[in-house]
A and B are shown apart, each in its own frame.
Chain A
Amino acid sequence: MRYAAIVIGGGPAGMAAACAVKESEKVLIIEREARLGGILKQCVHDGFGVIRFGEKLSGPEYADRFIEEVYARKNIDVKVLTFVTSIEKENGYYRVSTTSGAGIETHEGENLILANGCRERTARQVNIHGTRPAGLMTAGTAQNLVNLLGVNPAKRCVILGSGDIGLIMARRLTLEGSQVLGVYEAKSSPSGLQRNLQQCLYDFGIPLHLKKTVTLVHGRDRVEGVTVADVDDGMLPIAGTEEYIPCDALIVSVGLIPENELAEKLGVAMDAKTKGPIVDQYMMTTLDGVYSVGNALHVHDLVDYVSEVSETAGKDVGRRKERATIEVLSRGLGYIVPQRIDVKNLEEKTTYYFRTARETGKAKLTVTVNGVEIYSKKYSALRPPEAERVSIKHLLKAGDELKFVLEEDDGGKA
């Protein structure tokens, strides 16, 4: 049997995409872990679903809503503990090879939805030196240990990186009786959501140290301490500012990298800024029939939007049609998704997700088509860690120049 779509990854993105596919079309979800839900399984904190469901749900609750739907849907098959070893493009379909306890299998799908999620940047990838003892780990690994396995890696720990997972883990470890000595952030402003600074750090009196980073890890078997130092504007440590902090763990939360090894092997064109595939407004990559969704596409701040983009891709499955794309040009943006627009198949509104290139005060987003302004929006402030979403009504045709420009209100470029 040939599936209309094979979804790789059973996290929030994969599940939402699968559930959005028409019920008349057969879908297969392939998940490498034992259960659907992805990283949401270990996100026991709340704050999920405020936009989508108007409720503050915990990660498992948010996941459960989709898991139930997946299993209730007759057109969706699920394979867990199944790992994709290779994908081959055939004439008009894709052949996906998997390994599992049941053996080696191949599955055919007319479309592929890549929902592989992302991985964490490691301590070594941000130039932390010294030793590699127990107690040095990423925030996601710590979260898995604490929230899924019920074991705690830290008594007194330092957290590097003020991304949301780092902040969430600062609170989580505090609630489990660990002492969090401080959160260190090399940038001059925090990377996580503002509300997480309040409810995860300030509520518990955990200090946030900006423009400081960890340079060295000490201890051979177990972390015995870390050296922290001030950093200059280029985020390089400043000699003479080093300080030794005794601790038994260093939890690093220094960024997420979309996992796109499968996409790259397939030959999908990638966006150097998002580190995910280049897609159109239906999340279709440069390869016909291959979609990219969720954090594999670009790292989202909110799972609510992960679900949204994934549904867009799921709905598009089976609507095979002629496409003609134009590039989305931009200035002042860190990145924008989609990076191209299929002008042959425009819907009434098109949704864009973008991040500002740098922190701004009052700013204005202007969208032009062939130099003519068709949309603008004002912002009181923008920060790169917080993605923005705009839905725009526009008429486009092949050859049009579509451009997004973000400028600070004082007239200077953002």
Chain B
Amino acid sequence: MAERLETICIVCPNGCRLTAVRKGNVIEVSGNKCPRGITYAEAEMTAPKRSFTGTVASVFKEMPVVPVRTAGEVDKAKILEIAARTREILLTRAYAAGEVAEENVCGTGVALIVTTDMRKVTGRTEEL
């Protein structure tokens, strides 16, 4: 486990440059403008988390790929595995935004959700 970490906070657009130092059982964080920076840096030191965003395939010609994301954060180490998994998923009906494309994706305990309302797009004849 790292003793010292310099990183950029990704929680909000401010992008604070954080420094986290382990002192015994305590992690001291500096450079943060808000408390969320502390939580983020602590997680980066122990078990870094990320959201996954990407696409999965659908059967609809109007929408060959559909945007998805994890409903919450997952272990950073799982991101590439989830990416690979999204290449295999095929949606065969029109999902609403927020509907689950796959529960517990790659054993993360977090669902992969569709992030657009496919019903607004599929079946429409108007397209460019």
Q: Do chains A and B touch in the complex (CB under 8 A)?
A: yes
Chain A: residues with CB nearer than 8 A to chain B? 33-35, 41, 44-47, 50-51, 56-61, 63-64, 67, 80-81, 101, 146-150, 172, 175-177, 193-199, 202-203, 301-302, 386
The interface residues of chain B lying within 8 Å CB-to-CB of A67 are 120
Counting residue pairs across A and B whose Cβ atoms lie within 8 Å, the total is 102
Contact with A along B92-128 (1 / 0, CB 8 A): 0000010000000000000000011100110010111
A150 & B128 in contact (Cβ 8 Å cutoff)? no
A58 & B53 in contact (Cβ 8 Å cutoff)? yes
The interface residues of chain A lying within 8 Å CB-to-CB of B115 are 44, 57-58, 60-61
Q: Could you pull out 19 A-B pairs where Cβ atoms are within 8 angstroms?
A: A34-B124, A34-B126, A34-B127, A34-B128, A44-B53, A44-B67, A50-B12, A57-B115, A58-B67, A59-B67, A81-B126, A101-B126, A147-B55, A175-B80, A176-B83, A193-B15, A195-B14, A198-B9, A199-B50
A147 — nearest CB in chain B belongs to which residue?
A: B55
B76 within 8 A of A: yes
Chain B: residues with CB nearer than 8 A to chain A? 7-17, 50-51, 53-55, 57, 64-65, 67-69, 76, 79-80, 83, 87, 97, 115-117, 120-121, 124, 126-128
A80 — nearest CB in chain B belongs to which residue?
A: B126
A203 & B76 in contact (Cβ 8 Å cutoff)? yes
Nearest-Cβ distance from residue B31 to partner chain A, whole angstroms:
10
Nearest-Cβ distance from residue A11 to partner chain B, whole angstroms:
15
The interface residues of chain B lying within 8 Å CB-to-CB of A175 are 54, 79-80, 83
The interface residues of chain B lying within 8 Å CB-to-CB of A199 are 10, 50
The interface residues of chain B lying within 8 Å CB-to-CB of A45 are 53
A58 & B13 in contact (Cβ 8 Å cutoff)? no
Nearest-Cβ distance from residue A9 to partner chain B, whole angstroms:
15
* Complex alpha-carbon distance, A77 and B52, angstroms: 36
* Complex alpha-carbon distance, A301 and B13, angstroms: 9
B51 & A56 in contact (Cβ 8 Å cutoff)? yes
Nearest-Cβ distance from residue A85 to partner chain B, whole angstroms:
17
The interface residues of chain B lying within 8 Å CB-to-CB of A61 are 97, 115-116
